[in-house]
Amino acid sequence: MRALDIAGTGMQAQQTNVETISNNIANMTTTGYKRSRAEFQDLIYQNLRRVGTTSSDTGTIVPAGAQVGLGVKTAAVYRINEQGSLEQTSNSLDFAIQGRGYFQVTLPSGETAYTRDGTLSLAQDGTIVTADGYALNPTINIPNNAQSVSVDQSGQVSVTIAGQTQAQIVGQIQIATFANENGLDAMGQNLFLQTQASGDPIIGTPNTTGFGSVMQGYVENSNVNVVTEITDLITAQRAYEMNSKVITASDDMMQTLTNLSR
């Protein structure tokens, strides 16, 4: 009985849907997190009567045919890269990107990773690093005698040094964009890696054409909408229950057939 297998694929699909929603809810306070959405496709079809075939020797054509679908499968879990709200922190080393772009960080392996999480700090040598100690790329060092750090919307980093009246420029933040942001490989820790699907990074200066601006003293909140996630969770739960009802009904039908054979 096909209905058993078909309903089984439906339950597996809704399990993936619930897992995706639960990850969104778990990360509702994660800085720079982008919510995900599961996308599904129908499986192959079994032709009981193929459409377009002839039904008689005179060449009459079957207008509709008969096809039975074999269930559903998960096609993709893609990120929705809409802007999250900006929260003011007044921390001089908190940065948010308003618009397109990712901060670049250098991993211990030398590989470049990309992130929307701009909660940065200073290492022991004055290098601007992430919460895990990964240096911002290109590297920016803040002098030990700097009294304050200022970053404009174009990503230019300036410091005020004791005894000097004019601010000193110490670096320039550059951000990266991609032709296909959904093609980035999420590695955890709010970091992404380039893949063949994402394309090569396009590096540029913030607040120029095609690139977002840098906001100092702000962080980007998660773009998870709790009301939407709870609504989707209820829908997924009900879909899971309905598929389980199909399995129960199929089992009852098979039980009826078994009783007839006695």
**pLDDT above 90: residue 171:** yes
Over pLDDT 70: what percentage of the chain?
Answer: 99
The answer to whether the beta carbons of residues 154 and 205 sit under 8 Å apart is yes
Prediction pTM value: 0.86
Q: How far is CA 54 from the centre of its chain?
A: 49
How large is the average pLDDT for residues 9-35?
Answer: 96
- Under the banding of pLDDT at 50, 70 and 90, the label for residue 261 is low
Residue 49 is inside which H or E element, if any? Answer: strand 45-49
pLDDT, position 262? 66
- Under the banding of pLDDT at 50, 70 and 90, the label for residue 179 is very high
Strands (E), 63-152: 66-69, 72-79, 86-88, 95-98, 102-106, 112-115, 121-122, 128-129, 135-136, 146-151
The answer to whether the beta carbons of residues 52 and 62 sit under 8 Å apart is yes
Query: Measured between alpha carbons, how far is 203 from 225 in angstroms, rounded to an integer?
Result: 30
Average pLDDT of the chain?
93
pLDDT tens digits, 47-80: 888 888 887 778 788 888 888 889 999 999 999 9
pLDDT tens digits, 104-126: 999 999 999 999 999 999 999 99
